[in-house]
Structure 1
Amino acid sequence: MDSSNRPSPPTERVVTILDFLAAHPHDSFGLSEVARRTDLSKPTCLGILTTLVDADYLLRDAQDKTYRLGPRLIALGHTAQESMRVNPAAREELRRLSVAFDTTAALTAVIDDRITLLELVGPRGHDVGDSAGRSAATRGSVRVGQSYPFAPPVGLMFVLWDDDALRAWLAKEPTIPLRTDSERLERVIHDCRESGYLVERMTPGGRRLYALMAGMSSTLPDELRALLGELISDIGERVYLRSEAAGGRQRSDISVISAPVYDHHGHQAMVVSLQIGRALTDAEIGKRARGLLVAARALTTRLGGTPP
């Protein structure tokens, strides 16, 4: 076995504890509970918790002897976001977008062949938000750092504007069985490149797809692949196209509107999105899309990027 790929059990135990506490950010746990929930012995667990407390990665309440996430993780998180080009200026751009349309704005990128949520900013006043403006509801179901397999049918928004990237993505083994309508996909590509953004409709399958796939590996169990195949079977079936819209006051259930952000090589670096989750008219979709494009251009400029 290649020693460079050999896992480290002690490190895995530290990660297990941090992941457990991160999954319960508003709770504190005693030693016995942490040991039980992470399937570790109490002596091993105590040693790890003590070291993490000493390094400020965790906090220990001296009265009830419980542990929770510590302040040093905040700095680490900010550093990680900076390394992925999510700086305060980018977050402010998302905040402006969120305020303008009273909904959640998100920034995502493909990292290590997985679609990863880099930042999420929700409207204030809808729920108790944190310092970045993310609502509790948003943080509960969709979390910064959450990732999804980057393979058809998930990830179209990252490849629509680049022929080479699109071909490489389509060549990947799909996460679920697909029946791709090539004629419709070509129409999707043409219309989205012409408009500069992608609009995804909200379908029963689409609502469940990301929840089922969040955090999973690219290799899904056969039973889950079959279930997902029943939920969504065509890459372009969830895309809303103006050319197919009835127009006027006709409303369509919209899930998300997305636009690309480019780096200085003219390559797509990230995607900025508006979470919709309700029915909109074509005019309402267009208004939000125009605001989204302004934000995407601003983010591209902050990266020193240029559209291809």
Structure 2
Amino acid sequence: MASDDTSGSSTSGGTADAAARTGRTSPPTERAVRILNALAAAAPEPLGVSEIGRRVGLAPSTCLGIVNELTWAGYLVRDGSGPRYGLGPGLALIGRAAERSRPTFRAARAGIEHLADELGLLCSAASVVGGDITVLGLAGTPAGTPPLVEVGARYPFAAPVGVMFAAWDTDAAVDAWLDRSPVALAPDRVDRIREVVRTCRAQGWLAERLTDVERDLHRFLPELGTHGEGERGRRALAEAAAVFSHRDYLLGDLADGTDAADGSGGSDSGDATHPVSTICVPTFDVDNRPDLILSAYVMRPDATTAEIRRIAARLSACAAAVTALVGGRDPWRGEAAGRVS
């Protein structure tokens, strides 16, 4: 069984990043990061200094000095009409270097591209970066439909948002994630979350319920996570997500046809239908800690149990291949589910 003892071991990205955010920070660096994020969100449209300042909540004079430095370093380029600024080639070099240093993402990107073609669904690879859930790659946006998420979209990793990023980590990491919730979680909701965690560990994947609120969340979470710069915006986003995010399916829901929302169901031969938003599976790093989350966006009110299991199986095979690439393993499968009590 995977241990919840994190002493003397490496920590997952989410745990380490969240801890780092509570230590010493650099306001000038934070301002530069906010500017880069704003320009990334606007890409390929360049922005003027005044517009950058409006989006990140800084005076144009402050923005100008930062923008000049970033332009000199090659991280931004100046568009002569305006003038306006966009992302520069220096960032592309850094991005390629980062990708070379993370072979799991290269493998995952190839995997989700194949799955998107096979399943006819939008697929994504995401991770926790700097305390935020960040979409690293997308494949297979259906023609004629707006993307549900965008590469680079970010939103805070705070309970109950991001259960799939916490579930396969240690018990201590789950506790820390729950503690970061920006709103008080009722005891029954915490119990439900812990039940979802146990199910994730036992079955190896998670299917999220599709609701009207869930559809709205898929639209506004990435947008606010990218544009809502500053701690005030982040707190507002986290609070909204905590209030409106809905519960997830459990193993029993798909095993016997019971929908946990209304208690109906019975024997499920695979034809029972369920409203499903996304199906998620984890990859693991060399220390057997969760690394990436691979997701397929089903976004249907009538996905059959057989379809859900088939999509989960294909995602799981892809995740297993990525995990094997670095010599990792799923520490929960084939063992008793974790404590999470």
Q: TM-score range by the shorter chain?
A: 0.7 to 0.9
Inter-partner Cα distance in structure 2 for 1:63 and 1:175: 43
Number of matched pairs: 287
Q: Select 2:138's aligned residue among 121, 132, 145.
A: 121
The 1:35–1:214 alpha-carbon spacing in structure 2 relative to 1, beyond 3 Å, is: closer
**Alpha-carbon offset, residue 121 of structure 1:** 1.7
Deviation at 1:105, TM superposition (A): 1.9
User: Which AA in structure 2 matches 1:267?
Assistant: R
Distance change >3 Å, CA 261–CA 88, structure 1 → 2: closer
The alpha carbon displacement at 1:181 in A equals 6.0
| Change in CA separation of 1:250 and 1:220 when aligned onto 2, cut-off 3 Å | same
Give the alignment partner of residue 146 of structure 1, picking from 137, 151, 154. Answer: 154
Give the aligned residue type for 2:314: G
Cα distance, 1:291 vs structure 2? 0.5
1:274 is aligned to 296
Partner of 1:238: 248
Question: Do structure 1's residue 256 and structure 2's residue 256 form an aligned pair?
Answer: no
Whichever residue aligns with residue 282 of structure 1, its letter is T
Q: Does 1:291 align with 2:288?
A: no
Picking from 168, 172, 176, the partner of 2:175 is 168
Is the partner of 1:5 in helix, strand or coil?
coil
RMSD across aligned positions (CA) = 3.7
Question: Given the two structures, how large is their TM-score scaled by the length of structure 1?
Answer: 0.74
- Counterparts in 2 of 1:179 and 1:143: CA distance versus 1, 3 Å: farther
- Within 1, Cα distance between the matches of 2:138 and 2:50? 36
Alignment correspondent of 2:323? 300
Aligned pairs (5 A) from 1:20-99: 20-31=38-49, 33-34=51-52, 39-42=58-61, 45-62=63-80, 65-83=83-101, 86-99=104-117
Cα distance in 2 for partners of 1:97, 1:190 equals 27
Q: Distance in 2 between matches of 1:224 and 1:90?
A: 28
Q: Which runs of 5+ in 1 are unaligned?
A: 128-134
Q: 1:228 to 1:70 in 2, by over 3 A?
A: closer
Q: 1:101 aligns with which of 119, 133, 138?
A: 119
1:214 aligns with 2:219: no
Instruction: Please state how far the C-alpha of 1:123 moved relative to its aligned partner.
Output: 1.0
For 1:233-284, what per-residue CA distance to the aligned partner results, in whole angstroms no more than 9, with x for missing partners? 7xxx322521352435432211111112122233322322212211311111
2:248 partner amino acid: R
Report 1:127-206 matches (<5 A).
Answer: 137-138=146-147, 141-144=149-152, 146-151=154-159, 153-161=160-168, 164-165=171-172, 168-169=175-176, 172-176=179-183, 177-180=185-188, 188-189=196-197, 191-206=199-214
Structure-1 separation of matches of 2:99 and 2:174: 29
Paired with 1:270 and 1:224, the residues of 2 have a C-alpha distance of 21
SS in 2 for 1:180: helix
8 Å Cα contact 1:28-1:66 kept in structure 2: yes
CA 1:82–1:275: 2 relative to 1, 3 Å? farther
Change (3 A) 1:30 1:307: closer
CA contact (8 A) 2:182 2:235 kept: yes
Identity %: 28
Matching residue's letter, 1:149? F
Higher relative contact order at CA 8 Å, sep ≥6: structure 1 or structure 2? 2
SS at match of 2:42: coil
AA in 2 matched with 1:94: I
| TM-score, L = length of structure 2 | 0.68
Residue identity opposite 1:27 in structure 2: E
d(CA) in 2 for partners of 1:16 and 1:170?
A: 24
Distance 1:188 1:98, change over 3 A: same
Structure 2 spans left out of the alignment, 5+ residues: 1-22, 258-264, 332-341
CA distance, structure 2, for counterparts of residue 229 and residue 68 of structure 1? 33
Report the Cα offset of residue 90 of structure 1.
Answer: 2.5
